[in-house]
């Protein structure tokens, strides 16, 4: 595991990305190809991640919050219950908020997104792994 602390979260710590918000999401089963085509067509910057919730791992993606409506409007996340919104980092760890896609359920503040070891991450109900940096993240 790489041990570099990146306070601004998964997207990195450069000045421009630190002050932006992001969404981590999964797509409905079978929609990975449509998502890839959408990301390419609209030239949406993204990273591919691995997410886990209650022992179930699935591919996940992170995009700028401003690009998420295009993905949602194409019904690529229609079978998903929620997404993870990462707030602006500023000079600390990003706030993590669970947002439900039904627009009826209140958002849940999960704390801040922090770097942890693989062992610590896998002992939690939910974690995110960034294969490009080999870093695990949890909200706490």
Quick check: is 1 in a domain? no
Give the pLDDT confidence of 18-76 residue by residue, as tens digits: 788 999 999 988 899 999 999 999 999 999 999 998 889 999 999 999 999 999 998 88
Q: How far, in whole angstroms, is CA 83 from its chain's centroid? A: 7
User: Does residue 6 have a pLDDT over 60?
Assistant: no
User: Does residue 81 have a pLDDT over 80?
Assistant: yes
Quick check: is 4 in a domain? no
Quick check: is 22 in a domain? yes
Q: Which domain holds residue 70?
A: 15-139
Quick check: is 68 in a domain? yes
Segment 77-91 shows an average pLDDT of 86
pTM (global) more than 0.95: no
Quick check: is 29 in a domain? yes
Per-position b or e across 108-127, b if 16+ CB within 10 A of its CB: eebebbbbbeeeebeeeebb
**How many domains does one find in the chain?**
1
Quick check: is 3 in a domain? no
Which residue is listed with tokens 């490009």? Answer: 132
How far is residue 128's CA from residue 50's CA, in Å, rounded to a whole number? 6
Quick check: is 6 in a domain? no
């Amino acid at each position: 595991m790489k041990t570099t602390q990146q306070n601004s979260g998964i997207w990195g710590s450069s000045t421009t990305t630190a002050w932006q918000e992001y969404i981590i999401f999964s797509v409905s089963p079978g929609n990975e190809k449509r998502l890839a085509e959408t990301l390419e067509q609209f030239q949406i910057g993204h990273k591919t991640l691995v997410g886990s919730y209650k022992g179930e791992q699935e591919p996940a993606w992170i995009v700028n919050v401003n690009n998420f409506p295009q993905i949602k409007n194409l019904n690529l996340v229609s079978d998903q219950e929620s997404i993870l919104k990462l707030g602006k980092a500023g000079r600390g760890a990003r706030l993590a908020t669970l947002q439900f896609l039904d627009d009826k359920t209140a958002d849940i503040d999960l704390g801040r997104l922090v770097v942890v070891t693989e062992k610590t991450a896998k002992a939690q109900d939910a974690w995110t792994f960034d294969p490009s940096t080999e870093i695990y993240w949890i909200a706490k």
